[in-house]
Structure 1
Amino acid sequence: MKPIWKWIIGIVSAILVIILGAAWYLSNNYKPILEDKLKEIIAESSDGLYSLQYDALDLSVALGNVTLKNAVLIPDSAVYEQLVAAEKAPNNRFHIALDELKIRRFGVMNLLLNKKLSISSIELATPTVHMISQPHAYNDTVKNEQPKTLYEQIKDDLSAIAVDKIDFTNVKFSHTKIADGKRSTMELDSVQLHIRDVLINEHSEQDSTRLFYTKLVDLSLPGFEYDLPDGFHRAKFDHLKFNTQKRSLLVSKVSFAPRMSKSEFFRRKGKKTTMAIMKVDSLSFEGLDIARLIDDQKIYAQEARLKDGSVSLYMDLRYPSTPKSQIGNSPHQQIMKLKQSIHIDTVYINNIDVLYGETSKKYNQEGIITFNNATGIITNVTNDTVALQKDKFMRADLRAKIMNSGNLHAIFGFDMLSKNGAHTYKGSLGAMKATAFNRIIKPLVNVEISSGNIRKVSFNMAGTDYRNWGDFRFDYDDLKVKILGSKDEEGKRSSKGILSFLVNQILINDSNPDANEVYHKGTVEYKRDPTHSFWKTLWQSLLDGIKQTAGISAEREAKLTQAGRKSQEAATGVKGAAQRTGGFIKGLFSKKDKEDADKKEEKKKKSK
């Protein structure tokens, strides 16, 4: 009898031979079946829209490995048009090509015995993905027939699919959007996508810890730059991070700006318009509803943060304007007009500089006003009418240093459901020097503030599309202004002393309370010019309050006009007298010169 160990070796060897033989047989005979099944599943699940092509499929049953080389997933344009006609075509279709697809360590026995496909990893090397978006109205309508879930599509062949990880490395992605007969394209390179713990079975769709059957999707995009179809603007960012487990989106170094200089921008526009430049060091979203974002392109988030950046707005009044009504274009009304649904509980603003610059038509100079280090919060930013039924107000509580000097605090309330743009705004401005405003006043209106101490400003206002009203208070002292004249040859601007004196003595009070200890309070009732924007109307309303608190009444303005007219007449009389006197003197000297010349000529004749 043979020793027992020889029996053991013989049995193990036989088993190995059987396993290797079975693996060889399956690898060589199951491969055609696998290829046919793979193509069949793709065709059936897409209503024949997609077909799969590849150069080679290597299958190793013993190791549980599959390698697909030079694979291409192609949409059939003829089938797509048929689906459009039948109103079954999706809004998005894809053309995908990759050098290599690696599937590692799939469980053969579990697949054969339990119809469960378990995979350790899937790796897609250097894929190229072209996504074409073409919205169809019928996809926006509610359908009685519910589409099949992914599990319902595979359950006849598999009881479950489980994948530990899927890695897309160095993806080249391009997106083409076709809408209203126009086509726009953007491209991304070196995209990294990592997916973890995928499970598709009869229970996974209801698992609240999963998104699209996964526990984690981590997306990283490198630098992105996109020229907008308008031919004027460019959008870009340095990096984007998207994580479904954290439900977060982070974009760094975001910018939106014209592709040309300021002068070139206005020259090419050829009309009075606003040029905007936005730069933000960090833009982030937390608590994102990622399913809505991906499925419906709806932005629903618990919070958004804008940190460290600037917003600059410029206007050049030297170009012709095309006046049109601005009614219905207030900030909250524009949010309600957005085609894209948005709902953000809270927007946090941290250290954003805001600048507005305007070039004067008359003086060819640019005046600038700044709101530095703006911080604050905006709540209930939404155009979701269902959510607005519970709370219809969007609120903003903002702080900044105006002209990098006085502390400004403003609170806005926007009635999102109002038919006439109802809103409120109240706030205060702390102590600062009035001369800080020369940076905007002097270039635009040719007036300079010589001195002035602003102690406090406060306002409590309300408005609609048609008027603004409320209370305005302005406490100040030692206010003096200088009316400037034209520039001389050296570029220095003279002052109009008489007119400046009249303004300071007749038109404005140099303090509030005034010299008679009378405190002037502004009661604003301002009718909106329909061509004025929301922000210009707000400023004009506050300006009305400033005029009232400074004592600039209609009666005083009439007095100034009358005094100015007399002053001008006096100046004109003096000028005329001087001209007449100068002419007379000039005539005398001219006559004397002529007499002297005649005498000299007569002496010459006598000497001869």
Structure 2
Amino acid sequence: MKPVWKWIIGVLLALILIVLGVAWYYSRNWKPIVETKLKETVTNATNGLYSLRYDDLDLNVAIGNVTLKNAELIPDSAVYRQMVANKLAPNSRYHIKLASLKVRSFNLWDVIKNRTLFIKTINFESPDIHMIQEYHAYNDTIVDQKSKTLYDNIKDVFSAVNVRDIKIENVKFKFSKIEEGKSSDIVLDSIGINVHDVLVDETSIDDSTRLFYTKMVEIDVPGFTYDLSNGIYKAKFDRLKINTQEENVLLTKVEYSPKMSKAVYFKTRGQNVTMAVLKFDTLRFEKLNFKQLIDDQQTIAEHVQIKNGSVSLYNDKRYPKKTVSKVGSSPHQQLMKVQKLIRIDTVFVDNIDVLYGEHSAKFNREGVITFNNANGTITNLTNDSLHLQQQKQMKANLSAKIMNAGSLNVQFGFDMLSKDGAHTYKGTLGPMQATSFNRILKPLLNVEIASGNIRKVSFNMSANDHRNWGDFRFDYDHLKISLLNAPGSDNEKKGIASFLVNQILINDSNPDANEKYHIGKVNYRRVPEHTFFKTLWQSLLEGIKQCAGISKEREAKLMGTAEGAKNILDESKNVIKKTGNFFKGIFKKKDKDEKKEK
């Protein structure tokens, strides 16, 4: 038996030595072959655009490990310019540096026998990626020449390549966009990327469960701030997370705002150009089509969630406003003008505070109106003309607390294919105190609501580029207003004028004292220079005035009364005579009204 054991042990030792010898031979003699083939493959696969350089290639065939040290993928600028001249250059090119590239656990036998390469893991150490984007219009039009797939480039060497996991950590990424010879840069640090189950074979490119050969790509980008090209605004976020398998994108602490204070902003612009500040805790895309986004820059998603944030808009009337026609610039018309396709089934708005502030040139004060805790949905948000042939309506159903008091519910309907911007809006406002609106009325109009109980408001309106029309209902009681003197005056309120306005010119309730219920029949012709939302407000204001009994004649009388009272207070001569004449005019107006009623 002893010789048998010796024979067995001898055979095993011989086999081990043979394996080690073969491994050593291939490691020693395949290295130059692999190096040559690797560089050749990179050059051929990119039509000479890229070359591969590195300091050392450590190849251990026995355990299936490869380490590439100080590797660099370098684009050739001369080749790129020639490709541009021939209209063959891609829009993007890359310059990539790696401290090391580690390939672990590949099977040499499968490579030799079956021409298949399976790799357990690939690790990229300290990658530095510079992506340069330079737009070429011909890339949008050339479709007759089918580009090579990744499989086409490797099929002469391998019939299939499968990598279970790719880990790329602490990535430094620089994005440079070149437009009209000028470059703008975005720099990101400490990006984490995990790629799972990469398969390159004859059929994987058509596998609907894969995105560019992969089953899943996870990307984690830490926060960054980007100065926009106009030099005024900045955009930033705290974190960006992408998961291609779940088809989700999550951004946290998103902000779009000027880089300066409100005062400096308007001074810098030199015009009354709306200043916008947008802040959201959460911005999430769900079921986002990454392939369409990457290939065609099309945004197609099932859901978008905007949660916990604010939208603040400011104007300053101390600065001149550029008077241009806003006809054709309603929200839905602006969406249809976007060059790239957008199709989102539903946008969920969750707890967003909306504020509009305006600084008065006449009174040098800022008034604000707020819509607190806005919630709701926007459905069929798209500029896809083919999709809109089936469903042309984009709808918004939103609710908020106006001035953090009354419950406002509004439904918009936008005809996306209408040539004249047709749309509808209807809504209701629940009970609240009218004095809540003094935050905007007093600073901007120098008028104050002394008291007033709003029971309900409802409206149902249709509109287009030129006109808004519909019914407006306003149920209220105990409405009293105070006309104010100029800021800084010893006596803030115009007592006589306020008394006359409340007694004669407006109805203190609806139904009024004669139990007549007033309904606003709005037919408002748009001022072309007014924005969509200003036109909407002016239309609703027309309904408010009609319900309050303020006809155009009474409105003119109201303005005359305020100015007349100012003269009374400013001029001390003939106070009694002026007051008598004033009342005389009022009673004449009252007699005319009584005759009309009869």
Q: What TM-score comes out, normalization by structure 2 length?
A: 0.94
After TM superposition, the structure 1 stretch with the greater mean CA deviation from structure 2, 462-471 or 429-438, is 462-471
Aligned equivalent of 1:468: 468
Cα RMSD of the aligned pairs, angstroms, is 1.7
Give the whole-Å Cα distance in 1 for the aligned partners of 2:575 and 2:222: 77
Aligned equivalent of 2:447: 447
Letter in 2 for 1:539: W
Cα distance, 1:576–1:432 mapped onto 2, change above 3 Å? same
Q: Secondary structure at the match of 1:143?
A: coil
- 1:60-86 CA distances to partner (integer Å, 9 max, x unpaired)? 111111000001101000000111111
Give the whole-Å Cα distance in 2 for the aligned partners of 1:570 and 1:17: 116
Give the whole-Å Cα distance in 1 for the aligned partners of 2:569 and 2:225: 62
Aligned equivalent of 1:40: 40
Q: 8 Å contact 1:506–1:559 — kept in the other structure?
A: no
Q: Which of 531, 534, 538 lines up with 1:533 in the alignment?
A: 531
Q: 8 Å contact 2:301–2:343 — kept in the other structure?
A: yes
Letter in 2 for 1:482: S
Cα distance, 1:361–1:60 mapped onto 2, change above 3 Å? same
Cα distance, 1:21–1:572 mapped onto 2, change above 3 Å? closer
Q: 8 Å contact 1:56–1:68 — kept in the other structure?
A: yes
Letter in 1 for 2:234: R
Q: 8 Å contact 2:494–2:565 — kept in the other structure?
A: no
The CA deviation at 1:558 is: 4.5
Aligned equivalent of 2:191: 191
Q: Secondary structure at the match of 1:575?
A: coil
Q: 8 Å contact 1:506–1:560 — kept in the other structure?
A: no
Give the whole-Å Cα distance in 1 for the aligned partners of 2:31 and 2:575: 113
Q: 8 Å contact 2:236–2:254 — kept in the other structure?
A: yes
Aligned equivalent of 1:391: 391
Give the whole-Å Cα distance in 2 for the aligned partners of 1:36 and 1:130: 26
Cα distance, 1:288–1:100 mapped onto 2, change above 3 Å? same
Q: 8 Å contact 2:502–2:508 — kept in the other structure?
A: yes
- Which 5+ residue runs of structure 2 have no aligned equivalent? 577-598
Matched, 1:431 2:428: no
Letter in 2 for 1:516: N
- 1:571-607 CA distances to partner (integer Å, 9 max, x unpaired)? 67752689xxxxxxxxxxxxxxxxxxxxxxxxxxxxx
Cα distance, 1:560–1:206 mapped onto 2, change above 3 Å? closer
Give the whole-Å Cα distance in 1 for the aligned partners of 2:451 and 2:40: 84
The CA deviation at 1:145 is: 2.1
The CA deviation at 1:228 is: 0.7
Cα distance, 1:242–1:235 mapped onto 2, change above 3 Å? same
Aligned equivalent of 2:200: 200
Q: 8 Å contact 2:257–2:278 — kept in the other structure?
A: yes
Give the whole-Å Cα distance in 2 for the aligned partners of 1:452 and 1:577: 31
Give the whole-Å Cα distance in 2 for the aligned partners of 1:215 and 1:322: 52
Give the whole-Å Cα distance in 2 for the aligned partners of 1:14 and 1:561: 111
Aligned equivalent of 1:272: 272
Aligned equivalent of 1:586: none
Give the whole-Å Cα distance in 1 for the aligned partners of 2:354 and 2:81: 49
Letter in 2 for 1:537: T
Aligned equivalent of 1:220: 220
Give the whole-Å Cα distance in 1 for the aligned partners of 2:267 and 2:25: 75
The CA deviation at 1:22 is: 1.1
Aligned equivalent of 1:295: 295
Cα distance, 1:563–1:188 mapped onto 2, change above 3 Å? closer
Give the whole-Å Cα distance in 1 for the aligned partners of 2:423 and 2:179: 35
Aligned equivalent of 2:495: 497
Q: 8 Å contact 2:483–2:562 — kept in the other structure?
A: no
- 1:51-450 aligned at under 5 Å gives the runs 51-450=51-450
Q: What TM-score comes out, normalization by structure 1 length?
A: 0.92
The CA deviation at 1:556 is: 2.2
Letter in 1 for 2:550: I
Aligned equivalent of 1:605: none
The CA deviation at 1:417 is: 1.5
From the CA coordinates, give the structure whose radius of gyration is larger. 1
The CA deviation at 1:561 is: 5.7
Q: Secondary structure at the match of 2:28?
A: helix
Give the whole-Å Cα distance in 1 for the aligned partners of 2:532 and 2:568: 43
The CA deviation at 1:136 is: 0.9
Cα distance, 1:567–1:61 mapped onto 2, change above 3 Å? closer
- 1:292-319 CA distances to partner (integer Å, 9 max, x unpaired)? 1222222111000011001111111001
